[in-house]
């Protein structure tokens, strides 16, 4: 499965570590490494699933974007 991580705090970094360790899935992009970074829609189009650990204030806009691109959260 191809994954995009959105948010790269402690949880995002731990998910990256676990995914890489398992070898079963691929992280195709890490988005929102820093506060205020805009999500790259082209990077999202490469993914099957998005794992989002960004701030709750951003979730409504992010969910709308993911739905528009038919991504699974």
Tokens representing 44?
């999202």
Neighbours of 38 (CB within 10 A): 7
The residue extents of the domains of the chain are 7-48
- Full-model pTM: 0.85
Give mean pLDDT in consecutive 10-residue pieces for the chain, a chain of 73 residues: 95 96 96 90 92 92 90 72
Measured CA to CA in angstroms, residue 4 lies from 13, 18, 36, 72 at distances of 12, 14, 17, 10
Q: Assign residue 39 a region: left if phi > 0, alpha if psi is -120 to 50, beta otherwise?
A: beta
- Position 33 scores a pLDDT of 92
């Amino acid at each position: 499965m191809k994954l995009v991580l959105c948010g790269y705090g402690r949880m995002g970094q731990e998910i990256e570590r676990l995914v890489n360790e398992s070898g079963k899935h691929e992280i195709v992009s890490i988005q929102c490494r820093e506060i205020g970074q805009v999500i790259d829609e082209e990077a999202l189009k490469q993914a099957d699933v998005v794992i989002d650990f960004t701030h709750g204030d951003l979730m409504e806009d992010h969910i709308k974007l993911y739905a528009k691109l038919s991504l699974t959260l």
